[in-house]
Structure 1
């Protein structure tokens, strides 16, 4: 059972600088993660009339993509604990004309209507639950019998060198970087496939499949410094650094990313787990 401070920490993080950064950079992040989004929403069938829940929906890109793929029938609901991201998602939903709605709530504890969804989706939104068994039990109760669960989660740090380049390079200059802790809430919280299977099994899900997915992603080189100074462990602690330390960190970390730079693009592989299960 997770402690209340863990839940508070996640709420504070995603309603604070991290949530606002995602809103500020949503256009870039949507561009970078487009191949992952397309992989995630493949099971959504046009005209199926499905009721879909997008967990940890952030600024709403996957929710809208699923709704647009389905067409005029069905409905898509996005849920997230971040008020700034839900506000952005709601505005984007209106602009898109898609059949979507967005809910500011904690999917671990929210009182969803029982058996109200046919498909639960998530793009990197389920690794942050303080109590993942409680969260997936709650999501299972919100899913009809025979309904499906499908989410993407990051594999380990060793499989994702791009994602850890900034913190490895900055560590000598920023000794207060938050550590990566196995099987704990965070970006790599679901890196262990047996841990993931155990969580879903204890939560009442069946037909559990955890398989690797390697997806090529890219971003403009001109966005790289903004990216690593806003996101991840470096993005969390860099605002606390003095100007000279900040300048040195940017110089050192930018140099460390050079192997990923290809002309005016930064290219890397997102090493993920594609997880599927049924209720």
Structure 2
């Protein structure tokens, strides 16, 4: 499944339906990005892979400049983002486009940010070169991406537990665009160097994330590889999968909370001359 079809379809709709839960789950990363652009004095910020717009709106609200934009390939997610911005009274421009290809205004942004949105490009060097052209001289880049799959066992608990019961479960393939495509820091450095960014810095960020236990079944039945196929399963299979997968999450459940550590990279670079 290509990325546009995926995020404009089942996967994107799942994020729209779960946006309140996901906003809270990933708020620590949003706060990290907002603090960086505020400290850098950026006035025009581009949020890449902005999805339903939580980070974009948070940045625009903090800066109060009206110069923030979000770009995403999924129009349904952008519709949710626009509704969020309108509801909050925050001026943001949302662009329906592939950031790898879009003809941004050259030098139009002082900062380029992303929360888990840059690992899905089919040609990441081309994408970051295009983002470099969109950045003014001296602009900053900060992205948060996932580290190695082995360091994030929570993220694959559902698919590992469900695999014996769901034979057509999508398989994550090394090297393909996806959640863990930027796990190798040397690969990321090479991509940014070839894309025209300088001063690349990559450091590990480990964040404690909390999910209400009441939302756990909704989380694993709608999101990720399992969520893509489970909606097409018969009721008997679905019930078996839910019971099996829920039990697999027991190590992360502490009373009314589900707790896990998100092992990520904070990627920083600049658009020097």
TM range (shorter): over 0.9
Q: Indicate which of 219, 227, 237 corresponds to 2:211.
A: 219
- Normalised to the residue count of structure 2, the TM-score between the two structures is 0.96
- Identify the residue that residue 36 of structure 1 maps to in structure 2: 29
- Identify the residue that residue 261 of structure 1 maps to in structure 2: 253
Q: Gapped runs of 5+ residues in structure 1?
A: 1-7
CA distance in 1, matches of 2:108, 2:194: 21
- Identify the residue that residue 14 of structure 2 maps to in structure 1: 21
- Identify the residue that residue 220 of structure 2 maps to in structure 1: 228
Q: Indicate which of 39, 61, 67 corresponds to 1:68.
A: 61
- Identify the residue that residue 136 of structure 1 maps to in structure 2: 128
CA distance in 1, matches of 2:133, 2:259: 40
CA distance in 1, matches of 2:66, 2:16: 27
Where in structure 2 are the equivalents of 1:1-279 lying within 5 Å?
A: 9-45=2-38, 48=41, 50-71=43-64, 73-279=65-271
Q: Gapped runs of 5+ residues in structure 2?
A: none
CA deviation after TM superposition for structure 1 residue 254, in Å: 0.1
**Is the 8 Å Cα contact of residues 48 and 74 (structure 1) preserved in structure 2?**
no
SS in 2 for 1:44: helix
Distance 1:69 1:47, change over 3 A: farther
CA distance in 2, matches of 1:159, 1:47: 31
CA distance in 1, matches of 2:247, 2:42: 49
Q: Number of aligned residue pairs: give it.
A: 271
SS in 2 for 1:35: helix
Once the two structures are superposed, residues 183-213 of structure 1 have per-residue CA deviations (whole angstroms, 9 ceiling, x without a partner) of: 3201111111111111111111100011100
Once the two structures are superposed, residues 74-116 of structure 1 have per-residue CA deviations (whole angstroms, 9 ceiling, x without a partner) of: 5110111111110010111111122312111111100001111
